[in-house]
Amino acid sequence: MSNAKHATASYSHDTVAPATTIWALFKAVSDWKNWNAGVHDCSLEGPFATGSWFSMVLPDHDVIRSQLVEVTEPHLFSDETTLGDVVVRVTHQIDPLPDGRNRITYEIDVVGENAQDICTGVSSDFPQVLQGLVAQAEGRV
């Protein structure tokens, strides 16, 4: 669904890496910068669990503060960022495939004014982020 007040997008990448390896990379929040060029630095306040907050410093040094709103180890986590009246929720999911590989999916849901533009802007690097994540994960196999 996409309109002025609501937009979504989804991106996936398949990998031979086990879900536990991918999940370990997700939980290592301070290391996200190693596989996500859109992160200059990142720190988690508390455990990697529902309700915890994290701060992400972008390459231009803007800081985004987000909350983990759903964590189901080792299958998915969702984070939510509020930007004024706009809410951006990103779900990171690991699904097993019949051939033994895993599919990593990033799904973004934006609610608020200019949702489509924000959705497009925030998710524009998701394919590259997924490639970086998969390269890191497969490098550990």
pLDDT, tens digit, for every residue of 103-125?
999 999 999 999 999 999 999 99
Kindly give the interhelix angle for 19-27 and 126-139, rounded to the nearest 10 degrees: 110
Superfamily of domain 2-139: START domain (3.30.530.20)
User: pTM (2 decimals)?
Assistant: 0.95
So what's the pLDDT on residue 3? 54
Cβ contacts of 62 within 8 Å, gap of 6 or more: none
Give the Cα-Cα-Cα angle 112, 13, 140 (nearest 5 degrees).
Answer: 120
Per residue in 3-62, pLDDT (tens digit) is 579 999 999 999 999 999 999 999 999 999 999 999 999 999 999 999 999 999 999 999
Q: Is 113 helix (H, G, I), strand (E, B) or coil?
A: coil
So what's the pLDDT on residue 141? 84
Per residue in 58-113, pLDDT (tens digit) is 999 999 999 999 999 999 999 999 999 999 999 999 999 999 999 999 999 999 99
